[in-house]
Chains A and B, each alone.
Chain A
């Protein structure tokens, strides 16, 4: 029995739907289309899948997906909480299932009508009665109703403390938009952005402008997880998980961890970094490309520091040196990310991590051995390092 998840699981299939602003179909249709595509990509039959994992926020239940796709007997399923923080959590759960033998082939999925249906940017409202409504109620009466407003509080302090400015955020947004120009699946394909475009976009929650915020889209993504041994007999080159973990730090709240001493840092990401580097035996210098969660541009700056790609407060200089471009020190979100490909709650960033290992990105850098992918910022989160088989 393995005692860590180091090299115990791999992603052997990826699938996705088209991304759009109005899918015109049900979320179950998006989910099952993506799941079927991931299974086909791996080259196995649906009946060989015996586990499913999704988000607590997803509306398509596991058995509905199983029946629709033709998945038969299942021995593992689970759901992961906390919005985009769940992304790497899905593959952590799946990896544990295949590593222990509880399941052989697990598909994880996320599908949402994120623009035509329930829009996350519209924030929380008093009409949603749920167990964490009281948590949100410490913020709602004061006008803090949207993800942008919660992140802005932390970003403002970070920028003030380290002298980061709108120009630094613009570098992140413009670089990812540039990447999307080579990705026909991206919502921002054919829509390049200049510094003027960025600066003229309207202020949403200071310091965040419209183009510091990710989009809202309809679509679905799925990933097939199995053991590296079984993956050898499948169709695609697997992306092996060198290390994978979930991470929630002391004092963690969902989007509102305002009660820790240093608000200008992401301790849950520092925890994730410590674990994945220890588990993999790798360090920041070994990472050749990344897909850092990018619901908002300042999150990229803070994660670069949390994962040790630069020192505290130095991310602003790191991004202006074009480090995040294809030829840079750390090509990041080569598909365009949540900012410019689509907001698939982070699962599309994992799919791009797999493509980078396969050598199939629309913006493939040379010699990619290891890729770091993270999930949601400001929430209980996680990180994974992929390597070659």
Chain B
């Protein structure tokens, strides 16, 4: 993604901060014994304060109350609201769709925090207003690069009395190792996947490099935009002048073999052994690790001329490899 496109996306997602996701949600049923009983059955909860009229009289509440952790259950809207990204039904869906359309297709619930002001009594109606509270800076995570989105929900009763609050955080991310989608034809079950080589995690400092390999079919070399010094592997600051800005040039692909090893053991799934793993000097002067293909073991010679090929694995992953120069 270009800088301008990224800035536009960030400006747009930030415009959602502070917005309610939609109108206030009003519980479809008042706090009632049957729902409490069902919830307690499901949770394995047996406290008399929730279940037994006589037993509850002996508690500090003096009557049946609802378990505090049920708070959200009173205002849940049902399955209809679960999948709403294709046809957004509220602001939260619109925000998620915007990110998904820009490649942030993964979603992970990360944490929930709930505060309970008091116990709910039978007959109370619960109302909830959810606001998009916070969107983080873009973060590099184990799952991939993405944004943490926090929503805050305030719960009240029919008279506007505060009952509690909840904050819920999800990560919207670009999957680091996107899996190819199952065959669209006929919607059959996904075929068992062949193991494939270990993929690089896509972080701030290296993701752009692999994206350029895949999108543009080149080996990019990072270049300082201040002093124009080249560097590989990519790093977030120029070691020559301290400048952080960078662009990249396209390597010609011409290289010489600096050194190599033929890897026999141990053997990892997703690789074909033996592997001729190599270090090359690119014509531009930078050095990189790769592997050598289309070459017999006995023909490998330190100093030999090589040329780059952008190889595509069966799973669609693109990686720059080298072969003897033609």
Contacts from A to B (Cβ < 8 Å): 121-123, 125-126, 129, 133-135, 137-146, 149, 152-154, 156-157, 160, 202-208, 256, 258-259, 263
Contacts and interface: CB of A to CB of B under 8 A. Distances in A.
A25 B177 CA distance: 37
Sorted nearest first, the 6 A-B pairs with minimum C-beta distance are A137-B200, A152-B261, A143-B275, A157-B259, A129-B142, A206-B262
A160 B301 CA distance: 10
Contacts of A160: 259, 302
A122 B198 CA distance: 14
A153 B291 contact: no
B279 interface: yes
B260 A126 contact: no
Interface string B269-284: 0010001011100000
Contacts of B319: 141-142
B201 A129 contact: yes
Contacts, number: 107
A143 B200 contact: no
Given A129-B142, A156-B259, A204 B275 contact: no
Given A126-B201, A137-B201, A143 B264 contact: no
A168 to B, nearest CB: 17
Contacts of B264: 202-206
B302 A134 contact: no
B233 A125 contact: no
Contact of A258 (B200, B201, B279): B279
Contacts of B277: 142-144, 149, 153
B263 A141 contact: no
Given A126-B198, A129-B201, A157-B302, A139 B289 contact: yes
Given A134-B206, A258-B279, A259-B287, A143 B263 contact: yes
B261 A156 contact: yes
Nearest to B204: A134
Interface in B204-227: 205-206
A261 to B, nearest CB: 10
A290 B278 CA distance: 33
Contacts of B142: 129
A138 B289 contact: yes
Contacts of B200: 134, 137-138, 140-141
A269 to B, nearest CB: 19
A143 B266 contact: no
Interface residues of B, number: 35
A111 B263 CA distance: 30
B289 A142 contact: yes
Contact of B271 (A143, A154, A206, A208): A143
B214 to A, nearest CB: 13
B263 A144 contact: yes
Contacts of B177: 126
A156 B260 contact: yes
B116 interface: no
A202 B290 CA distance: 24
Contacts of A122: 266
A144 B265 contact: no
Interface in B35-84: none
Interface in B267-326: 268, 271, 275, 277-279, 287-291, 302, 319, 321
B263 A137 contact: no
B191 to A, nearest CB: 22
A133 B268 contact: no
Contacts of A146: 266
A135 B262 CA distance: 21
B197 interface: yes
Nearest to B287: A259
Contacts of B258: 157, 258, 263
Contact of B266 (A121, A157, A206): A121
B106 interface: no
Contact of A141 (B199, B233, B265): B199
A203 B199 CA distance: 26
Given A258-B287, A258-B289, A145 B262 contact: no
B20 interface: no
A146 B287 CA distance: 20
A366 B215 CA distance: 67
